[in-house]
A and B are shown apart, each in its own frame.
Chain A
Amino acid sequence: MGPLTILSEFPEWINLLIAFCIGIGFGFALEQAGFSSSRKLAGMFYGYDTTVLKVFFTAAIVALAGSQLLSFFGLLNLKLVFVNPYYMNATIIGGIIMGAGFIMGGYCPGTGISALSIGKIDALIFLFGGMVGAFLFAETYPYIQTIAMENYKGPMRIEEWMGISPEIFTLILIIAAVALFWLAEHAEKKFSRTEITTDL
């Protein structure tokens, strides 16, 4: 199964089955954290509900620390782990567009699907809008290709760019995360609104 060295000789169908189970686990984690409610997601922007920050940052740190520990014990081949190629301009422009859509709609693509699975109509419309956007992107690609491909930095990693070892970066990130969680608690008290998320 990919970079995991002890599981590398499985036949293809077991790989797909494992991927399926991991996907179910991801959807489950999103749903039980309450991300099917668009109020929780938009709350991140307005400051009254910082669940998104905590859940996703925790997930990132667990994945980061976990993968480095597994690599140390020889169970994971970090060279085989895919790193997204970094196109600077495209990332900034795309990030702004996606952020605007996130606040207006109250979902991002992953949480939109988990909201759809519990039957929300606005999630359906949101996903439909996402698909329209993807279609427009594909159709206009020849015109925006130059912008999209500009400033290509390759599959860059932050610790390479900063010049420190990956593990030190993990430690810095963990400390930053813990600091941010405490900050988030204070923000929630400051920006709080009436508790409407139980009122689904």
Chain B
Amino acid sequence: MHLYKNLKIVILVIVVLLILVIIRNSDQNIFKREVKTAIEAVQTNSNLITPDQLQKRTNPYLVINLGSGDRQDSIQFQHSVQIPFENLLDKANRQVLNEAEGDLILFSVDVATASKAWVILNQLGYKNVMILTSEENPDELKHKFQPDTTVRLEQDSI
């Protein structure tokens, strides 16, 4: 029909668009999650876990050691693997992460490395990523500030 001939072009365009959308969606190398999910997950410190809590967990987990040296601390856990931070997104390692069952527990000597890795993995869509820390709340101020009560500033310096 006359109508169908015209619609053919339209349908072609829509199908091409659909294919492009599907291709883009299957690209592994883009971030897909909304950033505010990362901020909400951090609020209650629910992404931190101590070694004792980890021992008591019944769900399956995989500990990921982000250091590149020879760290002995993490071998007390079964199911641990060593992935140096710079190689975290290599193809082989991505496969390890995708096939792991249960939670991903990140461990690093340097809390900064573990925190950055946590944000990256969380935004890539991995659910249940946690950071292994030795303290309940590592982000506490360990020093008390002693104000100097004799201080007087001249008025015009404000």
Contacts and interface: CB of A to CB of B under 8 A. Distances in A.
Q: Are A and B close enough to touch in the complex, i.e. CB under 8 Å?
A: yes
Interface of A: 69, 72-74
B21 A72 contact: yes
Contacts of A72: 21, 24
A74 B30 CA distance: 9
Interface of B: 17, 20-21, 24, 30
Contacts, number: 7
A74 B23 CA distance: 13
Contacts of B24: 72-74
Contacts of B21: 72
Query: Chain B interface mostly helix, strand, loop or mixed?
Result: helix
A57 to B, nearest CB: 19
For the complex of A and B, list the 4 residue pairs with the smallest distance between their C-beta atoms, beginning with the closest: A73-B24, A72-B24, A74-B30, A72-B21
7 contacts: A69-B17, A72-B21, A72-B24, A73-B20, A73-B24, A74-B24, A74-B30
Contacts of A73: 20, 24
A72 B24 CA distance: 9
A69 B21 CA distance: 9
A152 to B, nearest CB: 25
Contacts of A74: 24, 30
A73 B20 CA distance: 9
Nearest to B20: A73
B18 to A, nearest CB: 12
Contacts of A69: 17
